[in-house]
Amino acid sequence: MKKNALAFAAAGLFSGPAWSIDLSQAYGEALAQDATIRSVRAATDARRERLPQARAQLLPNVSASVSRHRNWLDRTSPNASGQLVTSNLRYTSSSEALTLRQPLFRMYQMADYRQAQAQVDDAEAILERELQNVGVRVSSAYFEALLAEEHLALVLSQKTAYTTQFDAAQKRLGAGFGTRTDIDEARAALDLNVAQELEARQNLDFTRRQLQSLVNRPIDGLAPLDPSRMRLVRPTPDRVEDWIAQAELTSPELQSLAAQVEAAKHELDKAQAGHYPTLDVVAQWSRNDSDTVTSIKTRYTNRSIGVQLSIPLYSGGYVNSTVRQALAGQQRAEETLEALRRDLGVRLHREFRGVTEGVLRVKALEQAVRSAEQVVLSNQRSFEAGSRTLPDVLNAEHLKVSAQRDLAQARFVYLLSRIRLQALAGGAKADVIDEINGWLTR
């Protein structure tokens, strides 16, 4: 039953008409449909409420209380002659009170309010980080699907070439020029290609489903990359140190941990507040009818205003322990921030080199593909002239396909490095995606 339910849910996830999209459309849909980002948005909304809750502890607090009771009193007391007499009294008592309390000095609540501000900043930075990550995740899924399409297309073109070579080998053998070995070589290459085609189709289906899970819609086509539109340029700025400096200012990851450090400092202030007194202004209006056995059928109306001071004296060492705990938490947050700062520098350096070296690698592989295509052509002509064997032609075809596959992968690695570099530095989320989207063909 569980398997059937899971299959039904998976089928419902991708139900509806299929859709052909480009990168910008996929990014826009993921912002609205991705379950992870929607979860983070809800968590951020919940965290934002921390601030008005903390502020409320510093604002006036007004409370009202009303009570009314029916009393049955049996009272035994001596009379004028000294004899004990029991009387039964039935009466109604009531009380009303209206109290206003305004904190004047509360170290704990003031530190809690400042901590709430830091925690909201942390939540906002986490949301920004996840919004940056959506672009990276969508782009990775999109380009993985495109690379799977490219791989399948190369396998199919290789299959066509191998089929042509196999037919040619059979014809040459029938004409008395070829050998049985040529046919066997071509058949072996063709059989291996069939297995590669099956693997490529499975990979294409898997990568498509990865992208579909982000946009929550079925997809039947992706806008392919047009190499003639693609701009192979170095990053701007052209120094990794400038990217690291930019990340120090705008990286949502650093902003999140910096806010956590600030919150940890205010947690220390809250712990130290256990040593400080509290001072409140208290104003009260109250009215009591027959509230005690000595004031039956008597009404009191009281109005009062004043200050209330509370001074902590001794709590068994609890406050000192919480201070030590808060100090350790602050140190942990500071060390975590420093570790992230160092790791972020390493990741920025890796993606920066992915862009700069990607330019050179793509250009080198473009030349390698042109050379491999010429080698295939030369081997085919030499094979027809009798100076090359069929394995030479098959090997040349295999090298050409490998170079084409490496070129496609290098292009997508270059594109992803540009997107990751921008995301790590905390730059504009959609700019680089829209730029790369302009290199696609609908």
Give residue 124's pLDDT: 96
Q: What is the mean pLDDT of residues 92-101?
A: 95
pLDDT, tens digit, for every residue of 227-275?
A: 999 999 999 889 999 999 999 999 999 999 999 999 999 999 999 999 9
Q: What is the mean pLDDT of residues 78-105?
A: 89
Give residue 163's pLDDT: 86
Map residue 34 onto helix, strand or coil: coil
Residues near 354 by Cβ (< 8 Å), separated by ≥ 6? 413, 414, 416, 417, 420, 421
Model confidence at 3: pLDDT above 70: no
Domains by residue range for the chain, with CATH = 17-66+105-277+317-437 (1.20.1600.10)
pLDDT, tens digit, for every residue of 332-373?
A: 999 999 999 999 999 999 999 999 999 999 999 999 999 999
pLDDT, tens digit, for every residue of 142-170?
A: 999 999 999 999 999 888 888 887 887 78
Q: Which has the minimum average pLDDT: 213-217, 289-293, 407-411?
A: 289-293
Query: Which of the four pLDDT bands, split at 50, 70 and 90, describes residue 73?
Result: confident
**What does the DSSP 8-state code read for residue 291?**
-
Give residue 10's pLDDT: 42
Q: Tokens 């902590």 identify what position?
A: 312
Give residue 7's pLDDT: 40
Beta bridge partners of 73: 89
Spell out a b/e string for 14-35, using b for 16 or more CB atoms within 10 Å of the CB, else e: eeeeeeebbbbebbebbbeebe
| Contact (CB, 8 A) for 169 and 186 | yes
One DSSP character per residue, 178-228 reads: S-HHHHHHHHHHHHHHHHHHHHHHHHHHHHHHHHHHHHTS-EEEEPPB-TT
- For the chain, what percentages of helix, strand and coil (3-state, to nearest 5) are there? 65, 15, 15
CA dihedral 168, 174, 175, 180 (to 10 degrees): 70
- Which of 282, 295, 297, 299 lies closest to 96 in space, CA to CA? 299
Map residue 364 onto helix, strand or coil: helix
pLDDT, tens digit, for every residue of 372-413?
A: 999 989 988 887 777 777 778 878 888 998 999 999 999 999
Give residue 297's pLDDT: 82
Query: Which of the four pLDDT bands, split at 50, 70 and 90, describes residue 12?
Result: very low
- Say if pTM beats, i.e. exceeds, 0.85: no
Give residue 434's pLDDT: 92
Exposure of 409 in the CB half-sphere (CA atoms within 13 A) = 9
Residues near 165 by Cβ (< 8 Å), separated by ≥ 6? 186, 189, 390, 393, 394, 397
Q: Which has the minimum average pLDDT: 39-43, 182-186, 300-304?
A: 182-186
Model confidence at 322: pLDDT above 90: yes
Residue 237, preceding peptide bond in cis (omega within 30° of 0) = yes
Order of strands across the sheet that contains 278-289: 61-78, 84-106, 278-289, 299-310
| Contact (CB, 8 A) for 190 and 162 | yes
Rounded distance between C-alpha atoms, residue 269 and residue 258, angstroms: 17
Query: Which of the four pLDDT bands, split at 50, 70 and 90, describes residue 323?
Result: very high
Q: Are strands 299-310 and 19-21 parallel, antiparallel or unpaired?
A: unpaired
Give the chain's mean pLDDT.
Answer: 89
Give residue 291's pLDDT: 80
Give residue 389's pLDDT: 76
Model confidence at 53: pLDDT above 60: yes
pLDDT, tens digit, for every residue of 111-121?
A: 999 999 999 99
